[in-house]
Structure formats: C-alpha cells, structure tokens
C-alpha cells in the first residue's frame, strides 16, 4: 500500500485524491438509465421482461415467472446447514432488537392554556427493497433492509433482486423465508428500481426504495427520487482506520482488505501516528493478498484506492479522518472511547481491537447500509426512520388562540397574505 506522510510537500494533493474516492460517473450512465426507466414507465411488464432478457440472460414467458415461489424459499431454508441457519437467526434477533430501540414514538403534549401540540409517527404503506446479486449475493443485506421495515410497521414489503440466468442464491432464498417475506421478484439493476418506482402489472408501486447497488442502481434511485423516497445514493464500500502504536499490524491489514475484497472501487485508508506500524501494515497487506478468494478484486482496490497516512499527532489524524468521513471507521488505539467525542463524521464507528468491521456487517445489530463517499457528513445509516413519516399535530384552545393569534395575524399581514390574516382574525373576533 502507498504510504503518505502529512508533513510531505505533496501531501495535500495526494489527500485530495483520496477525498475523491467515492465519486461515481453517474452522468456517464444517466442517459442509459433514463431510457430504461422510461421504457418501464410506459411499457410495464413487457419492457421489464425485455430488459431482464437483455441484462440477466433469461426471458420470463409469463408475468408470474417474475415472482419467486415461497415454497422455493422454504425449501432453501430447510436445505442449508443447521449451524448456518442458527447464525442467520442470531443475526435476525440482534438486528431486530437494535432497531426496536431506534423506533420514535407518537407524542402529544398539552400546554397550560389547553393547546395541544404533538407528532404522529406512521409507517409508509409499501416499501421496495433492492438486494444486490451480480458479483456476490448478500443475504445480510436482505436482513438489514427487511428488519427495519418490519419494525417500523410497513404493511407491504416488495423485494427485487437480480437472477442472472434465472438463478438465485440459496442462502438469499433462505433468508427471505426467515424474514417471512412473500413478494420477492427476479429483477435487478435499474430495471428493478423503475419497476418499484412506477409499478407494473406485476410489481406494485412503492413509497420508498432502499438498498445498495452498482452505479446503474444508484443512478436509477437518483432519477426516481421525488416519485418515491430513497434511503441514499450509495457508492463503493470503504473503511477508515485510526490507529496508534498499540495496534496490531495483522489485525489492521486484514481489516483493510475486508473492504477491498468487495469491489475494485472500494477504498481502504489507515491513518496512524506510528510510522513503524504503517510499514508493517503495508507488508502484511501484501502477504495477505495472495490468500484471498477475491484476490484480483482486492489487489486492484488496494493498489488504486488504498492508502496509509502517517501523521505527527492523533488530533491531526482525527481531523483528516473527519474530512474523509468514511462509511466504516475503526478506532484501534489504547483508549478508543476517549476519541469518540472528537469523531464527527462516520457511518459506523467500531471501537477497540476486538471490533472488526465485519462484525457490523452481519451480527452486531446496527445497520450495515451506510453513507459512503464522504456523505456521512450529512447522511445517517439505514434505520426504521427510512420507513416512517411524521405528521405534526396542532389543536388550538380558545385561550391559546387569544395568546398567540394576534402575532400570527401580524406576520401574515406583513407577508401580504390577507386570507391568512383574516383566517385568524375572524376567530379572534368571535372569541
């Protein structure tokens, strides 16, 4: 891995390159995706099936072939190894328990004059969840998207996942059965986003679309935003690590590679105050690469988007990491909890050497759908909030109207909105 020193004259230029790590050429695929979406919007199932034949190499003959049979899910669940089944149940229970703690409540509060103010929290009617396939199948992403929607109280959950050559990953099917979902459709990419955003004869239109995907999925979500709500525009996966001299090089090296093996576009960045550790980690990364099942992907990611930065102080290291605002941030120092208040921007924070990022991907409980490319400065992890909407509650008493009505009418008059003003004054005159 490349090692940079913050004291070098060229460091600022090199660091700015790292900050651009998550930029995707959405403009480059926008016209393609826009055409696909328009086809779905106007052609429904006919266009959808044609796109599946084009991109996934099989053509549904009938509309009902798009829907995965629930019996197929149950059979897959029964076939998987019992130990793996237990692991899925453990993950489900922990994810559910965590997200239940995030659930906001409807509330109302009466003022002394009898006026009531509050907030009503309700789930969306229908949620669309995109679960990636392609290079790898991710049952964990199914759990991380379905469970918050269920905890939020969404009545109808629609799932789309690609089925190249009309084949689905058995573990993904098993996870669908575990989650008790029934509307799972064999469609991926921008086609799936269009189908859920506009609806077809088979796939219902949803209110919100969540879930990660490639650049075509991300672009489609951006283009349909407004027609439906979305969680975020997710880019390639990434990890940042803050470490001091107490950290183990072998731990840090394999943790950096845990993101690099996702995607050639993934980025892995270590910032440390120890130059010796930096060298050791770089050497360990090189030695681990040859042992990985996805070596080629990880090697390209590390060579093109991996970096180790050596700073003079931990304060400087934290400042740089806050600028990066990584999707995943590991803090591997003598006292990681002491640094927590200084960390402002990260999708998920992993404290201590016994907390590798993969534990958050699967079984810890918090969601692994996280903001990428620096968007942790303004986005939050996927949660129940993405499947909820809030309505303000206002109930004015007569005394309350006497107390604040005149101020309301005055502001309305100042804005030149006479009907607004009179709407209040007519009530004041009749009190």
367-398 pLDDT tens trace: 999 999 999 999 999 999 999 999 999 999 99
Q: Residue 135 has what pLDDT?
A: 53
Average pLDDT over residues 69-81: 97
Catalogue the E-assigned strands of 233-355. Answer: 238-243, 267-272, 306-310, 328-332, 348-351
The confidence band for 27, taking pLDDT boundaries of 50, 70 and 90, is: confident
Q: What does the domain layout of the chain look like in residue ranges?
A: 3-23+235-364, 26-230, 396-429
By C-alpha distance, which of 310, 311, 312, 305 is closest to 326?
305
Provide the pLDDT for residue 235.
87
Class of domain 3-23+235-364: alpha beta
Is 368 in the active site? no
What's the pLDDT at 21?
77
CA 251/CA 219 separation, integer angstroms: 35
* Contact yes or no for 243/252 (Cβ under 8 A): yes
Paired with 262 in beta bridges are none
* Catalytic pick among 238, 264, 327, 385: 327
Asked if domains 3-23+235-364 and 26-230 share a fold, the reply is yes
C-alpha distances in angstroms, 356 versus 255, 257, 360? 7, 11, 8
Topology of domain 26-230 in CATH is Rossmann fold (3.40.50)
pLDDT for 319 equals: 98
Q: Over the stretch 159-216, which tens digit does the pLDDT of each residue have?
A: 999 999 999 999 999 999 999 999 999 999 999 999 999 999 999 999 999 999 989 9
Q: What is the mean pLDDT of residues 210-225?
A: 95
pLDDT band at 22 (very low <50, low <70, confident <90, very high): low
Catalytic residue among 177, 262, 328, 368: 328
**pLDDT confidence of residue 271:** 98
pLDDT digits (tens, 9 = 90+) for 225-235: 999 999 999 88
Given phi > 0 = left and psi -120 to 50 = alpha, else beta, which region is 106?
beta
Number of DSSP helices (H) and strands (E) in the chain, helices first: 15, 14
Position 216 scores a pLDDT of 94
pLDDT band at 20 (very low <50, low <70, confident <90, very high): confident
**Residue 134 pLDDT level (bands cut at 50, 70, 90):** low
Q: Report the alpha-carbon angle 205-64-73, nearest 5.
A: 90
345 is catalytic: no
pLDDT at 420 over 70: yes
d(CA 348, CA 337): 14
pLDDT value at position 133?
A: 81
Residue 25: what pLDDT? 67
From the list 341, 315, 47, the residue with the least C-alpha distance to 190 is: 47
Report the chain's C-alpha Rg in angstroms: 25
């Amino acid at each position: 891995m490349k090692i940079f020193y913050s004291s070098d004259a060229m460091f600022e230029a090199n660091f700015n390159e790292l900050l651009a790590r998550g930029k995707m050429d959405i403009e480059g695929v926008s016209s393609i995706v826009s055409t696909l979406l328009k086809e779905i919007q106007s052609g429904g199932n006919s266009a959808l099936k044609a796109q599946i034949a084009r991109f996934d190499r099989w053509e549904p003959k009938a509309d009902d072939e798009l829907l995965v049979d629930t019996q197929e899910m149950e059979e897959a669940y029964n076939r998987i190894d019992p130990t793996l089944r237990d692991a899925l149940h453990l993950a489900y229970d922990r994810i559910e328990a965590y997200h239940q703690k995030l659930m906001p409540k409807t509330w109302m509060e009466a003022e002394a004059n009898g006026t009531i103010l509050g907030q009503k929290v309700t789930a969306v009617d229908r949620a669309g969840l995109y679960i990636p396939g392609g290079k790898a199948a991710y049952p964990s992403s199914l759990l991380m998207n379905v469970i918050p929607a269920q905890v939020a109280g969404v009545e109808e959950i629609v799932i789309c996942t690609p089925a190249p050559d009309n084949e689905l990953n058995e573990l993904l099917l098993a996870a669908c059965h575990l989650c008790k979902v029934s509307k799972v459709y064999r469609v991926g990419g921008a086609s799936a986003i269009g189908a859920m955003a506009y609806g077809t004869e088979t796939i219902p239109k949803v209110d919100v679309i969540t879930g990660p995907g490639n650049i075509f999925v991300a672009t489609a979500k951006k283009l349909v935003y407004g027609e439906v709500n979305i969680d975020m525009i997710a880019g390639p996966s990434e990890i940042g690590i803050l470490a001091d001299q107490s950290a183990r090089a072998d731990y840090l090296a394999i943790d950096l590679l845990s993101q690099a093996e996702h995607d050639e576009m993934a980025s892995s960045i270590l910032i440390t105050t120890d130059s010796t550790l930096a060298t050791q980690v770089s050497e360990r990364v090189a030695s681990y690469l040859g042992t990985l099942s996805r070596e080629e992907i990880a090697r390209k990611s590390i060579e093109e988007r991996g970096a180790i930065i050596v700073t003079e102080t931990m304060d400087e290291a934290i400042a740089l990491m806050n600028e990066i605002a990584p999707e995943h941030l590991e803090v591997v120092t003598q006292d990681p909890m002491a640094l927590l208040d200084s960390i402002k921007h990260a999708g998920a924070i992993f404290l201590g050497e016994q907390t590798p990022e993969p534990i958050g991907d699967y079984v810890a409980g918090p969601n692994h759908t996280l903001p990428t490319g620096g968007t942790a400065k303004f986005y939050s992890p996927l949660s129940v909030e993405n499947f909820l909407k809030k309505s303000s509650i206002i109930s004015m008493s007569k005394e309350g109207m006497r107390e604040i009505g005149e101020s309301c009418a005055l502001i309305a008059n100042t804005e030149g909105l006479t009907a607004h003003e009179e709407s209040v004054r007519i009530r004041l005159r009749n009190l």
